[in-house]
């Protein structure tokens, strides 16, 4: 299979690196220092499951060098996805498939602005990793999983073929019965903790010690549940309880990636999380005051970071 990994950060680097150890044809799209380092020395992945080094078949920043892929795995941030879809659309063939692994629940919709719906899959991953230095990705927590499916949840032949490739790469892949429910379960957890963490600027241990902040997080979660129900997504009250059990179990020094981006003045996924809930709530006539407050309080900072990033 001819596979293109678009974006070699923590996610694209780890999964792309595992795939590059197989006999499949693997191409990396990278930028800047990351591109130069991988071209010169390959990609090193430091992992709690064992370090490895790989050399993909092609590493480039020029899509004109890339032959028509069978599968594109999107490793960019969710706010970069629409632009990335526009860039890859011209190299796709009729049978090419595109798999987004970003946080958020509307990534297939973003892709479909430029790519035919029949070529778009849905997916996400559970993985904590980051670029340690150019050409080096560090995976430091949890055994990675990659969950994916057709948009209509059909266990199609093409899904089975991709799953077989992931197994060859020793990637733990999951094909759920309902990809939308699984996406929203992850979304519920991240959206409940990310913005409030960015606003308070302290780790989860300090957030959960406050009964007031805990109440705000619960309100955030219940508002998300209301929007999910309005969109006919099978998200449940019991999922909220599981989220708060997870919050209780987290290392007290844990922070969400969106929180870290906000605190560092980088473009974040605020729009993907609380911003999405606010906009969908308005479309469905639902009040989400806590999500609205978090979103509006952080939006000026987000706009500033996006403006500086685009210079």
**CATH number of domain containing 172:** 3.40.50.720
Pair 114, 238 in one domain? no
Domain of residue 283, residue span: 180-309
For the segment 51-80, the average pLDDT, to the nearest whole number, is 96
**How does residue 53 score in pLDDT terms, banded at 50, 70 and 90?**
very high
Pair 21, 158 in one domain? yes
How does the average pLDDT of the chain come out, rounded? 96
Pair 235, 127 in one domain? no
Sign for the CA dihedral angle at 284, 100, 145, 33 comes to negative
Distance CA 134, CA 271 (A): 28
Distance CA 145, CA 139 (A): 12
Q: Is the pLDDT of residue 44 over 80?
A: yes
Overall pTM surpassing 0.85 (yes/no)? yes
Determine the pLDDT at residue 254. Answer: 87
User: Of the candidates 122, 150, 177, which is a domain's last residue?
Assistant: 177
Q: Is the pLDDT of residue 311 over 70?
A: no
Pair 94, 209 in one domain? no
The C-alpha torsion from 192 through 197 and 203 to 204, rounded to 10°, is: -20
Q: Is the pLDDT of residue 269 over 90?
A: yes
Pair 159, 201 in one domain? no
Determine the pLDDT at residue 237. Answer: 97
205: CATH: 1.10.1040.10
In terms of phi and psi (left: phi > 0; alpha: psi -120 to 50; beta: otherwise), the region of 265 is left
For the segment 267-288, the average pLDDT, to the nearest whole number, is 97
Residue 200, classed as helix, strand or coil, is helix
Determine the pLDDT at residue 255. Answer: 86
Percent of the chain with pLDDT over 70: 99
Determine the pLDDT at residue 76. Answer: 95
User: Of the candidates 114, 145, 177, which is a domain's last residue?
Assistant: 177
When divided into structural domains, the chain yields a total of: 2
Determine the pLDDT at residue 256. Answer: 86
User: Of the candidates 144, 177, 210, which is a domain's last residue?
Assistant: 177
Determine the pLDDT at residue 300. Answer: 95
Determine the pLDDT at residue 191. Answer: 97
- pLDDT tens digit sequence for 77-100: 999 999 999 999 999 999 999 999
Pair 132, 35 in one domain? yes
Given a contact cutoff of 8 angstroms between Cβ atoms, the answer to whether 150 and 156 are in contact is yes
Pair 29, 154 in one domain? yes
């Amino acid at each position: 299979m001819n596979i293109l990994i678009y974006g070699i950060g923590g996610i694209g680097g780890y999964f792309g690196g595992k795939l590059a150890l197989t006999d499949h044809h693997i191409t990396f799209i990278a930028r800047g220092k990351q591109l130069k380092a991988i071209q010169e020395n390959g990609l090193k992945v430091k992992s709690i499951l064992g370090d490895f080094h790989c050399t993909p078949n092609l590493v480039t920043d020029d899509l004109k060098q890339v032959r028509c892929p069978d599968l594109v795995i999107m490793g960019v941030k969710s706010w970069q996805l629409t632009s990335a879809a526009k860039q890859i659309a011209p190299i796709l063939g009729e049978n090419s498939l595109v798999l987004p692994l970003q946080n958020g629940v509307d990534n297939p919709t973003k892709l479909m602005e430029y790519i035919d719906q029949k070529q778009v899959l849905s997916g996400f991953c559970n993985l904590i990793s980051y670029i340690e230095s150019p050409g080096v990705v560090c995976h430091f927590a949890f055994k990675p999983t990659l969950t994916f499916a057709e948009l209509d949840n059909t266990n199609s032949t093409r899904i089975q073929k991709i799953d077989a490739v992931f197994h060859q790469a020793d990637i733990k892949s999951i094909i759920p019965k309902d990809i939308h429910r699984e996406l929203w379960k992850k979304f519920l957890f991240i959206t409940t903790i990310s913005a409030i963490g960015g606003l308070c600027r302290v780790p989860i241990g300090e957030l959960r010690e406050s009964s007031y902040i805990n109440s705000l997080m619960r309100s955030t979660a219940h508002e998300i549940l209301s929007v999910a129900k309005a969109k006919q997504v099978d998200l449940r009250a019991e999922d909220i309880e599981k989220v708060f059990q997870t919050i209780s179990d987290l290392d007290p020094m844990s922070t969400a990636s969106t929180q870290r981006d906000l605190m560092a003045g980088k473009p974040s996924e605020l729009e993907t999380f609380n911003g999405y809930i606010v906009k969908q709530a308005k479309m469905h006539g639902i009040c989400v005051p806590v999500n609205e407050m978090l979103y509006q309080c952080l939006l000026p900072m987000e706009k500033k970071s996006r403006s500086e990033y685009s210079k």
